[in-house]
Structure 1
């Protein structure tokens, strides 16, 4: 029995080390070409950019966000606020301030359609109203890190790069929930940014995502998954991103910060929606991500089983092997993730990685149970 456990542990450990040493390390070592400051890509002049902001009852957030967007330092851009049936005074606020921010305009959406989820319809309307050939997506509860957000993202476009994946961390606040949300956001970014560098892009985050509008219409927008709640970012990337058309942006000036959920209930509701989208990924992406999470869970399940066996039989040699395996994994994990953490503006403390490893084991097991038992819920705005 112990031989089988150690063999399984070795298999799971090799898979984990492969991701860290051959996939994630690409992000740690990535050298990004620096923009000239006005968003000009290496092979041409800066393209016009339309920033799309979907808003459903986001009056307070829009009051803070729109001045920041209007003040962006970029040669040619506009901001379209897609007011989706808001009833909190958003429409009056936008009308009253129509001349206050020259780069900002709004489109009011009055109708909800049964054949497509509301946010995807709002984004589609925004794409059709866009004056410029590049769309940059964000949410009303987001805040760009600097006045160079648009310029930084646009600088990564080129003749063959039609998509730019940005990073959108959450603000740091007190409490376990906030720590876990920031850990999950960081590790998700590690995965999708690293795999993009490995020419296997599979998702982006709609809080900070840029692509050419022509690409959107070439793929008929969200038609393939118009009925799926969520997925306006990752499912479209699954559909449109290729080995060669996707770039990433690691410039901290181009990050977009967001306000996290403050209760476990609201976070769990959001997480259920995100998890329900994953089953619509391409098979190859599901396999890659499945191996990553399964090997993570496997290391811990087999490791704990081996620990129990070794303690019961007082087999110190087996316990030494187990300790060495976990020490090696944690060492590699900490070195690689800390290097990435420095690239992502140190959104986590360096000592977070080992506790995060155990927490994700519990999280993966818990979420797999929720997915299996999940019942169909009423569609929300998202």
Structure 2
């Protein structure tokens, strides 16, 4: 188990930890470290961009978000809001109060369709009606880090071989154990999907901060194969179409899209249920790699705790270890310690790059917490046979 973990940490996670952001300002590639990048990327032949926001009863969020999007520093873009059956005054706001937001337009959806889930229907219509052939997706409860969010997120698409850009969407920090768990899970998920993308095995992204070309969407029939699956408008779609050649990542801090975290355990559990529900539709190779990663993580800590119990048992009953047992114990302890230190160093560096999502000093605590969380979630998901219907909002 430790050996599997070390392969991921040293040869996969390290790709994100030491990644140098690549930005193409001309046909020749220029490598720039994201930590020292300029506040605005120079854009050559910048493509027009449609920023898509799907919203249902998000009036308060839209009044904050749309002015921030409208103020983005980019030569040619539009903001397309998909108003999905809102009843909170969103439609009235979009019809009467956005005249000073010259980049914004909206489409109202009045009914739900049985053949496709509401959000996937809204996104499909948005991509069909988009003025430009590249879309940048975000959610109504997100906030771009800076006015250079858009230009940084689409910069990798200056490379015509790239059709997808995976971005990072951290959650706002709040006090409490729930927020710490959310921050830890968000960081580790980002470590996985960024690192595997850099290793040539992209499998997901987050729809809160994701860009792709519309021709890729329509060439692969959009959400057709999972149109009735609640969720997956980001990860299931990317699981089908993303490859090592057509996928890029953006780690520039100006390109983060900050999001509001869930504040109650019940809301967070519902969100996690929706995410776990779509995982079973991943490609077999992706499920195998993720299962190996998560399984080895959980079992590494499980075996470590079992070893501690064995030592305590021997101490309590004054049972002596044999020479061979002492040797095995030293090897196991050394291997576990080495794995813990490498995880601490590599993931700690990634956390530093990703908005200090989790403080470096509590990375070991996060490591143990996530192993318990994944273990419980995996068992619960395995033994749960019937589920209630899950809604995207």
Provide the C-alpha distance between the structure 2 equivalents of 1:25 and 1:376, rounded to a whole number of angstroms: 38
Q: 1:40, CA displacement in angstroms?
A: 5.6
Q: Deviations over 1:184-230 (max 9, x none)?
A: 00110000000000000000000000000111111111001001010
Q: 1:34, CA displacement in angstroms?
A: 4.7
Secondary structure at the residue paired with 1:156?
helix
Which residue is equivalent to 1:33? 22
Aligned pairs for 1:1-382 (under 5 A) are: 12-34=1-23, 44-157=44-157, 158-314=159-315, 315=321, 317=326, 318-372=328-382, 373-382=384-393
Bigger shift: residues 310-319 or 320-329: 310-319
Provide the C-alpha distance between the structure 2 equivalents of 1:217 and 1:79, rounded to a whole number of angstroms: 20
Contact 2:184 2:370 (C-alpha < 8 Å) held by counterparts: no
Contact 1:230 1:277 (C-alpha < 8 Å) held by counterparts: yes
Contact 2:274 2:390 (C-alpha < 8 Å) held by counterparts: no
Provide the C-alpha distance between the structure 2 equivalents of 1:23 and 1:31, rounded to a whole number of angstroms: 15
CA RMSD of aligned residues (A): 1.5
Secondary structure at the residue paired with 2:266?
helix
Contact 1:40 1:154 (C-alpha < 8 Å) held by counterparts: no
Contact 1:81 1:107 (C-alpha < 8 Å) held by counterparts: yes
Provide the C-alpha distance between the structure 1 equivalents of 2:273 and 2:386, rounded to a whole number of angstroms: 10
Q: TM-score, normalised by structure 1?
A: 0.93
Secondary structure at the residue paired with 2:156?
coil
Q: Deviations over 1:223-246 (max 9, x none)?
A: 010010100000000111012000
Contact 1:229 1:380 (C-alpha < 8 Å) held by counterparts: yes
Which residue is equivalent to 1:7? none
Provide the C-alpha distance between the structure 1 equivalents of 2:292 and 2:42, rounded to a whole number of angstroms: 39
Provide the C-alpha distance between the structure 1 equivalents of 2:214 and 2:184, rounded to a whole number of angstroms: 32
Distance change >3 Å, CA 200–CA 305, structure 1 → 2: same
Distance change >3 Å, CA 379–CA 306, structure 1 → 2: closer
Provide the C-alpha distance between the structure 1 equivalents of 2:210 and 2:139, rounded to a whole number of angstroms: 10
Q: 1:79, CA displacement in angstroms?
A: 0.3
Which residue is equivalent to 2:318? none
Secondary structure at the residue paired with 2:175?
coil
Q: Deviations over 1:299-356 (max 9, x none)?
A: 1222222222233234383544443232211110111112212221222200121111
Contact 2:50 2:131 (C-alpha < 8 Å) held by counterparts: yes
Contact 2:23 2:156 (C-alpha < 8 Å) held by counterparts: no
Q: Deviations over 1:260-297 (max 9, x none)?
A: 00000100011011001000000000000000001011
Provide the C-alpha distance between the structure 1 equivalents of 2:144 and 2:338, rounded to a whole number of angstroms: 38
Provide the C-alpha distance between the structure 2 equivalents of 1:119 and 1:152, rounded to a whole number of angstroms: 26
Q: How many residues align?
A: 369
Secondary structure at the residue paired with 1:199?
coil
Q: TM-score, normalised by structure 2?
A: 0.91
Contact 1:238 1:282 (C-alpha < 8 Å) held by counterparts: yes
Q: Deviations over 1:136-166 (max 9, x none)?
A: 0000000000001110011111110000000
Q: Deviations over 1:354-381 (max 9, x none)?
A: 1111111111121112212152212413
Q: Deviations over 1:105-150 (max 9, x none)?
A: 1100001011111000000010011000100000000000000111
Provide the C-alpha distance between the structure 1 equivalents of 2:87 and 2:243, rounded to a whole number of angstroms: 40
Secondary structure at the residue paired with 2:22?
coil
Provide the C-alpha distance between the structure 1 equivalents of 2:331 and 2:312, rounded to a whole number of angstroms: 13
Return 5+ residue gaps in structure 1 as ranges.
1-11
